[in-house]
Structure 1
């Protein structure tokens, strides 16, 4: 398979996913947009090996194959469409192999970890499966300052915490509890309560606490963004679109009175596209005004 054919595979996979991230990719130049499609496809395929394993497959063995494919990609000998495309994009944007390996390590945690005792424990998982993706995206966007790194890490944590809160019911039905057990104990809400999907006063208190934690990471990321040079802020417009979409999902969770055991809380496609367009236009206007002021 040629790199162009492999890229087409990644692009098709991403478009079919309906992911929140897809709507932010529209606003990138073609070369960077294609790189993001490839990164998304890699994340999706690796995640699916554990969360949606093919019938009769062994998730641990599937991850072992992905590690082999990743090594092959960086040695110039990949065989899977995603890693063929990743090999080309990694060279073009200088994406470190270690970041991709760390993502696989995070996904692998789902094979052995169904509970997290403390937030420190959960932090490592969120960093691996979400913040690491942000660090890869920085390479594609071209923003590599230390503050941009801090921004990506905090934003990734905010995204993953939002996902955990939104998918609380689905995960519980699969026997997984991501919320730290120390937090459940703090609000006297038991594992049995969560697995039985009991919406008690203790549950609402717990959810208020967890939503506030996610908000703090969104706020930290926003504060760091404001401290970056204008040129870096412009490069991170796509990340800000993602922040706009995911922070609104968090708002929906709160405004629904934490109805996370029913239908999945989401934004409609027009809503997501509208958020993306508004943030992109605001970024362009800000950049133009700054250019005029410095002229």
Structure 2
């Protein structure tokens, strides 16, 4: 059972019906991730705004990962574009719509950022991404990660140009980190997100399974890890120009993923099937340090 705390003004978060808020929160809870707990540091309006953004991302990501033909998946993603368009016309049809609409209006979220996330999922839905060129690799990172960041920083409380730079760099840093630790898992799905130019440079086969067992994968991983570190540093510099309180969740995510990347670098990429993870106590310690830094 979900119990919602009223705001100090006596209203519910975002002014939404408690049943709608509970339904959106259930999507977050049922995802099995620690996202919901991580957002507990936010005040209620921002927390439920992030739940709504996460639920949107979770559901469109499920479309890309579900069974079905590329045509069917793309049609379902088109339906999501239409749904977002209706929200910006002021039309809401269900619980998620209503909480998303309140979030959009409260925090000034941009329609193009929602559409960019859908476009990123469509890149996966049209067929497995295998060894994209550098431009496509960067575009994918922007759509599936930095666009989410552009939505998130506004909900966190900062809509400045500096906050957009945080989203640009931190999104890429997080996505590159995910790609580097999921090489084997992605290969099982027929996917290989590593850039073709880097793979060719180190004689790594441009096939998912071939790349997993290539000696040159280590060098590819090291170079991409260096890029991710550059993005982490640029994100941290941009955060210093932002509202400090608003950037608390971004600092926690940045610190956590930087630790994951460091652990991956220590392990290397000779056995990509051994997925790197952090213990819960380690995550809590990292979060605590990021919040007081």
* Superposition TM-score, scaled by structure 1 size: 0.85
Cα deviation, residue 211, structure 1: 1.1
Match of 1:112 among 119, 126, 136: 126
Deviation at 1:223, TM superposition (A): 2.2
Pair 95,122 (structure 1): closer, same or farther in 2 beyond 3 Å: same
In the TM superposition, what whole-angstrom CA distance separates every residue of 1:223-263 from its partner, at most 9, and x where no partner exists? 2223x15xx12210111101111111111211222366325
Q: Matches of 1:263 and 1:80 in 2, distance apart?
A: 41
Q: Looking at both structures, which has the greater relative contact order when contacts are Cα pairs under 8 Å and sequence separation is at least 6?
A: 1
> Hey, what's the Cα distance between the residues in 1 that align with 2:248 and 2:131?
33
User: For the Cα contact (< 8 Å) 1:165–1:260, is it kept in 2?
Assistant: no
Match of 2:282 in 1: 271
Q: Whole-Å Cα distance in 2 between the matches of residues 180 and 208 of structure 1?
A: 13
Cα distance between partner residues in 1 of 2:274 and 2:97:
34
Alignment equivalent of 2:61, drawn from 47, 50, 73 = 47
The CA deviation at 1:197 is 5.5
| Counterpart-to-counterpart distance in 2, 1:80 and 1:176 | 34
Q: Could you tell me whether the CA contact under 8 Å between 1:78 and 1:84 is conserved in 2?
A: yes
Q: Per-residue displacement from partner, 1:134-191 (whole Å, max 9, x unpaired)?
A: 1111211221222221121100010111111111112112111111100001111112
Aligned length: 277
Task: State the alpha-carbon separation in 2 of the partners of residues 260 and 140 from structure 1.
Answer: 39
Partner of 1:172: 187
- Single out whichever of 76-85 and 169-178 deviates more from structure 2: 76-85
| Structure 2 gap ranges (5+) | 1-15
| TM-score, length-scaled by structure 2 | 0.86
Q: Return the match for 1:71 from 75, 85, 88.
A: 85
Residue 140 of structure 1, aligned match among 155, 160, 163: 155
Q: Is the 8 A contact 2:74 2:126 kept in 1?
A: no
| 1:38-64 alpha-carbon deviations (Å, 9 max, x no partner) | 111110001011113489x93122212
